[in-house]
Amino acid sequence: MANVMGDPPMPALQQRLAHPPTKVQSKFVRVLRAYPLVFLGGLMVLALIFIAVFAGKLATFNPDFQFANGLAPNGAPLAPNHTFIMGTDDLGRDVYSRLLFGARVSLEVGVFASLISLFIGTTLGIISGYYGGFVDSVIMRITDIMLAFPFILFVVALVAVLTPSISNIFIAIGVLGWAVMARIVRAEVMKVKEFEYVQAARALGSRQWRILFRIILPNIMAPVIVLTTLAIGNNMLLESTLSYLGIGVQPPTPSWGSMLSEGQQVFEYAPWLLYYPGLALMLAVLGFNLLGDGLRELFNPRRVR
């Protein structure tokens, strides 16, 4: 710049930024800082998956083997010791190994039941929410009926008809448990379909499947993922309930619910038979709930920016 007067020497610019540039963090890091429990929940879930996958490697014994030296001379279970680190049950089996294999059953039922519910609930919810009218009324009345039944009783009845096995348990839970998912998906679809970008897609001549699956579905995934995560925990609990009632996983396959049920009979002199499976169940469900709650915050655009 031409300046006849001559520029005065520029003083070094003293800058003090309100937000120093080094503090730019990814959304992931910010969410973790704001909600450290998500991290904890995620770790617990990862640990559970690890245990379930590598149960065979981590277990010290065959979970179904009845050890001759696994019972005290009077026939009582052994308390935790060097050989059996969580003690033995009333048949002389290693509690630690059974607990690890029990994680497999719980996770399997929890995940597959939730996936079945997810599939049925999302499909019906989208149809109901997008098309509305008579179809919507029919689907919602069926949903009301599903929700009006005592859920556990319904599952018990269905499992009894199907004969108890791991796959029948998750099929029963999954096929009966979609109602809440359908309602939430329907509400989300009804909200999203009014957005102008959906109208714009219609104005551009998109086919209906494209609008439903390429435009609406991705925009309703956040609550669906949260709900599915929470449902896995719930369904694990439900599997334990069924096994505890004796119509779940059949002996000798180890399940946390059946371990609780068997341990209950000798609880007075072998309390570890309730402590360990009870604790495992609590931690697993807690992990999924923390993760689900955390994801809800993560997907909530108003909370963390």
Partner 1 sequence: MSEPLLQVRNLKKYFPIRKGVMRRIAGQVRAVDGVSFEVAAGETFGLVGESGCGKSTAGRSILRLIEPTAGQILFNGRDIRKLKAGQMRLMRREMQIVFQDPYASLNPRYTVRQILEEPMIIHSLFDSAAERKKRAAELLETVGLSASRMDRYPHEFSGGQRQRIGIARALAVDPKLIIADEPVSALDVSVQSQVLNLLDDLQKQLHLSYVFIAHDLSVVKHISDRIGVMYLGQIVELGDSDELYEKPLHPYTQALLSAVPIPNPEVKRERIILQGDLPSPANPPKGCYFHPRCKDVMEICRTQTPAWKEVEPGRFAACHLYD
Window 145-204: residues binding partner 1 (CB under 8 A) = 195-197, 199-204
Contact by Cβ (8 Å): 241, 173: no
Window 124-143: residues binding partner 1 (CB under 8 A) = none
Q: Judged by CB, which is closer to partner 1: 11, or 134?
A: 134
User: What is the C-alpha separation between 54 and 46, in angstroms, rounded?
Assistant: 12
Nearest to 122, CA basis, from 52, 204, 184: 184
Is residue 119 within the footprint of partner 1 (CB under 8 A)? no
Q: Judged by CB, which is closer to partner 1: 150, or 209?
A: 209
Q: Judged by CB, which is closer to partner 1: 192, or 230?
A: 192
Q: CB of residue 94 vs partner 1: minimum separation in angstroms?
A: 50
Window 215-244: residues binding partner 1 (CB under 8 A) = 215, 218-219
Q: CB of residue 137 vs partner 1: minimum separation in angstroms?
A: 9
Candidates 210, 264, 282, 283: give the one binding partner 1 (CB under 8 A).
210
Q: CB of residue 295 vs partner 1: minimum separation in angstroms?
A: 17
The CA-atom distances, in angstroms, between 142 and each of 1, 136, 172, 191 are: 78, 10, 17, 22
Number of residues that bind partner 1 (CB under 8 A): 16
Q: Which two tokens stand for residue 167?
A: 């796959």
Q: CB of residue 188 vs partner 1: minimum separation in angstroms?
A: 14
Stretch that binds partner 1, among 80-88, 108-116, 123-131, 205-213 (CB under 8 A): 205-213
In degrees, rounded to 5, the angle at the alpha carbon of residue 299 between the alpha carbons of residues 298 and 304 is 50
Angle between helices 27-34 and 36-53 (to 10 degrees): 100
Contact by Cβ (8 Å): 239, 110: yes
The CA-atom distances, in angstroms, between 102 and each of 48, 156, 176, 200 are: 11, 20, 24, 51
Candidates 83, 206, 241, 250: give the one binding partner 1 (CB under 8 A).
206
Candidates 10, 205, 268, 302: give the one binding partner 1 (CB under 8 A).
205
User: What is the C-alpha separation between 32 and 112, in angstroms, rounded?
Assistant: 28
Q: CB of residue 243 vs partner 1: minimum separation in angstroms?
A: 41
Which runs of E-coded beta strand occur in 114-268? none
Contact by Cβ (8 Å): 92, 71: yes
Q: CB of residue 281 vs partner 1: minimum separation in angstroms?
A: 37
The type of residue at 227 is L
Enumerate binding residues for partner 1 (CB under 8 A).
195-197, 199-207, 210, 215, 218-219
